[in-house]
């Protein structure tokens, strides 16, 4: 039996993915008709997809057993009314490792006050302002899913006092977990550094608004590798200007690439990283895609299915 797979995740991705995907399918013993062009949509068994991919209307894909996303975040197409097939998002160890490294790196930068030494080599021996130990620093991780939980654990392993926040209640060793609206206010009011790792949904849009930014300790730092619209940009800029927020390290934005004239680029208290916090790495992504195809063909539940009622 040959499965038909339509790779609809863009030309650049096809160039990178074709060979490793064919190799992973062969390793799994799956005979596949894999193409970036679907001759007959009705006969496609699986669609591999990414934002900016070539399909907007999934209706003709009447036999499609699943849409497999190359991205972890699915907000750009979860609300496409024609996408009724099971939708699996990308989760894999390398994606998680990349995010943990980004989060730990940027949290340590702010915790240790590295900028003062990197940018301040002016011949003055300033040895009086020392960072506290990590155990004396409170870091909040908002979103305790695949990426947030792993990041929270890594920060806890470095001895940070880690507060976590998620939609449903969680128990993670070394992390003080909270949920619900009151939980968020409680967490933010103590967060010297807050890391945002929620998905973008109707509920999480502008979750960091002016009121919540004002709850944070003065000079607090935001690290956002989640999604741009989690933060009210106007409110953040005002909070940065007033010093209420000491710095924001932002990887994701409402419009990407971030427009050249956006105030974030020139703001002295903002670090822009160009949506590079955690890349989907081809080899490990292919393993997950192929495992899901194997499961689909074996009648087993697919991994990492998106729950459309939750929106992520
Ligand atoms: P998960 O779905 O595994 O985790 C999401 C977490 O957010 C869960 O803990 C969930 O709560 C929580 N959450 C969702 N809605 C709410 C809410 N309304 N209130 C409180 N908590 C909420 O996602 P991942 O960890 O895999 O990824 C998180 C996001 O990271 C992605 O959606 C994407 O936007 C972003 N991302 C960014 C990348 C980058 O390079 N910048 C790379 C990859 C992902 P609960 O546990 O209760 O469900
Ligand atoms: C993703 C991302 O969602 O890269 O995978 O942001």
Ligand 1, atom 17, lies closest to the CA of 167
Check residue 6 and give its pLDDT: 97
Query: How many angstroms is it from 145 CA to the middle of ligand 1?
Result: 5
Residues 144-163: tens digit of each pLDDT: 999 999 999 999 999 999 99
- Given a contact cutoff of 8 angstroms between Cβ atoms, the answer to whether 285 and 92 are in contact is yes
Q: Could you count the other beta carbons within 10 Å of the beta carbon of residue 134?
A: 19
Task: Give yes or no for residue 175 CB within 6 A of ligand 1.
Answer: no
Check residue 84 and give its pLDDT: 97
**Is 224 found in the same domain as 157?**
yes
What is the CATH number for 62?
3.40.50.720
**Is 103 found in the same domain as 247?**
yes
Q: How many domains does the chain have?
A: 2
Q: Give the closest ligand to the alpha carbon of residue 167.
A: 1
What whole-number distance in Å separates Cα of residue 49 and Cα of residue 55? 8
What confidence category does residue 227 fall into, taking pLDDT thresholds of 50, 70 and 90? very high
**Is 212 found in the same domain as 202?**
yes
**Is 98 found in the same domain as 87?**
no
Q: Which of 99, 100, 166 to mutate to test the pocket of ligand 1 (most atoms within 8 A of CB)?
A: 166
What confidence category does residue 129 fall into, taking pLDDT thresholds of 50, 70 and 90? confident
275 tagged catalytic:
yes
Residues 37-64: tens digit of each pLDDT: 977 999 999 999 998 888 999 999 999 9
Query: How many angstroms is it from 198 CA to the middle of ligand 1?
Result: 3
Task: Give yes or no for residue 36 CB within 6 A of ligand 1.
Answer: no
pTM: 0.97
Which ligand 2 atom is the nearest neighbour of the CA of 90? 5
Check residue 176 and give its pLDDT: 98
Comparison of pLDDT for 283 and 1, the residue scoring more: 283
Check residue 52 and give its pLDDT: 83
Check residue 149 and give its pLDDT: 98
**Is 179 found in the same domain as 138?**
yes
CA distances from 192 to 157, 181, 204 (A): 18, 19, 21
Q: Give the closest ligand to the alpha carbon of residue 278.
A: 1
**Two tokens, residue 291:** 């495992």
Q: List the domain range (segments joined by +) for residue 285.
A: 3-92+280-298
**Is 233 found in the same domain as 132?**
yes
- Given a contact cutoff of 8 angstroms between Cβ atoms, the answer to whether 169 and 176 are in contact is no
- Given a contact cutoff of 8 angstroms between Cβ atoms, the answer to whether 197 and 149 are in contact is no
Residue 307 covered by a domain:
no
Instruction: Report the candidate in 296, 288, 237, 260 with the shortest Cα–Cα distance to residue 64.
Output: 296
pLDDT at 169 over 90: yes
Is the bond into 228 cis (omega within 30 degrees of 0)? no
**Two tokens, residue 191:** 């967060």
Residue 303 covered by a domain:
no
Q: What's the CA angle centered on 82, arms 65 and 298, to 5 degrees?
A: 5
Check residue 1 and give its pLDDT: 83
- Of residues 262, 275, 304, 308, which has the active-site annotation? 275
Q: Which of 52, 53, 72, 148 to mutate to test the pocket of ligand 2 (most atoms within 8 A of CB)?
A: 72
Residues 287-305: tens digit of each pLDDT: 999 999 999 999 999 999 9
User: Any idea which residue has 């155990």 for tokens?
Assistant: 135
**Is 172 found in the same domain as 47?**
no
Query: How many angstroms is it from 146 CA to the middle of ligand 1?
Result: 7
Check residue 207 and give its pLDDT: 98
Residue 169 covered by a domain:
yes
Task: Give yes or no for residue 196 CB within 6 A of ligand 1.
Answer: no
**Is 235 found in the same domain as 197?**
yes
Residue 38 covered by a domain:
yes
**Is 291 found in the same domain as 210?**
no
Residue 310 covered by a domain:
no
- SS3 letters across the chain: CCEEEEEECCHHHHHHHHHHHHHHHHHCCCCEEEECCCCCHHHCCEEEECCCCCCCCCCCCCCCCEEEECCCCCCCCCCCCCCCCCEECCCCHHHHHHHHHHHHHHHHHHHHCHHHHHCCCCCCCCCCCCCCCHHHCEEEEECCCHHHHHHHHHHHHCCCEEEEEECCCCCECCEEEEEHHHHHHHHHCCCCEEEECCCCCCCCCCCECHHHHHHCCCCEEEEECCCHHHECHHHHHHHHHHCCEEEEEECCCCCCCCCCCCHHHHCCCEEECCCCCCCCCHHHHHHHHHHHHHHHHHCCCCCCECCCCCCC
Residue 154 covered by a domain:
yes
Query: How many angstroms is it from 19 CA to the middle of ligand 1?
Result: 30
What whole-number distance in Å separates Cα of residue 217 and Cα of residue 245? 8
What whole-number distance in Å separates Cα of residue 102 and Cα of residue 64? 36
What whole-number distance in Å separates Cα of residue 222 and Cα of residue 248? 5
| Cβ density class 16-39: b for 16+ within 10 Å, e for less | ebeebbeebbeeeebebebebebe
**Is 268 found in the same domain as 136?**
yes
Q: What's the CA angle centered on 287, arms 277 and 47, to 5 degrees?
A: 90
Instruction: Report the candidate in 111, 21, 9, 18 with the shortest Cα–Cα distance to residue 55.
Output: 9
Check residue 114 and give its pLDDT: 96
**Two tokens, residue 84:** 């009724």
**Is 7 found in the same domain as 151?**
no
User: By percentage, how much of the chain surpasses pLDDT 90?
Assistant: 96
* Length reported for the chain: 312
Residue 12 covered by a domain:
yes
- Of residues 111, 153, 167, 227, which has the active-site annotation? 227
Check residue 112 and give its pLDDT: 98
**Is 246 found in the same domain as 159?**
yes
Residue 308 covered by a domain:
no
């Amino acid at each position: 039996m040959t499965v038909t797979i339509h790779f609809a995740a863009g030309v650049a991705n096809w160039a990178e993915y074709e060979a490793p995907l064919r190799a992973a399918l062969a390793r799994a013993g799956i005979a596949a008709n894999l193409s970036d062009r679907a001759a007959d949509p009705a006969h496609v068994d699986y669609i591999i997809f990414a934002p900016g991919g070539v399909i907007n209307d999934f209706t003709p894909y009447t036999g499609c057993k699943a849409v497999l996303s190359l991205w972890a975040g699915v907000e750009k197409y979860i609300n496409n009314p024609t996408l009724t097939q099971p939708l699996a998002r990308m989760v894999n160890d390398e994606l998680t490792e990349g995010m943990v490294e980004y989060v730990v790196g940027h949290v340590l930068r702010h915790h240790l006050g590295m900028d003062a030494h990197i940018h301040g080599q002016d011949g003055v021996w300033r040895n009086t302002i020392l960072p506290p130990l990590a155990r004396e620093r409170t870091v909040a991780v908002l979103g305790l899913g695949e990426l947030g939980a792993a990041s929270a654990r890594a920060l806890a392993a470095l001895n940070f006092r880690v507060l976590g926040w998620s939609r449903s209640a969680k128990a993670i060793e070394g992390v003080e977990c909270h949920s619900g609206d009151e939980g968020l206010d409680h967490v933010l009011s103590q967060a010297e550094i807050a890391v945002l790792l929620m998905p973008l949904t109707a509920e999480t849009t502008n979750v960091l608004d002016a009121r919540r930014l004002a709850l944070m300790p003065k000079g607090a730092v935001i690290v956002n590798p989640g999604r741009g619209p989690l933060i009210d940009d106007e409110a953040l800029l005002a909070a940065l200007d007033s010093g209420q927020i000491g710095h924001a390290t932002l990887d994701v934005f409402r419009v990407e690439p971030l427009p050249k004239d956006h105030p974030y680029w020139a703001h002295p208290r903002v670090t822009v990283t160009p949506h590079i916090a955690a890349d989907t790495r081809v080899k490990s992504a292919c393993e997950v895609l192929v495992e899901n195809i194997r499961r689909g063909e074996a009648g087993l539940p697919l991994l990492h299915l998106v729950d459309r009622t939750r929106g992520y």
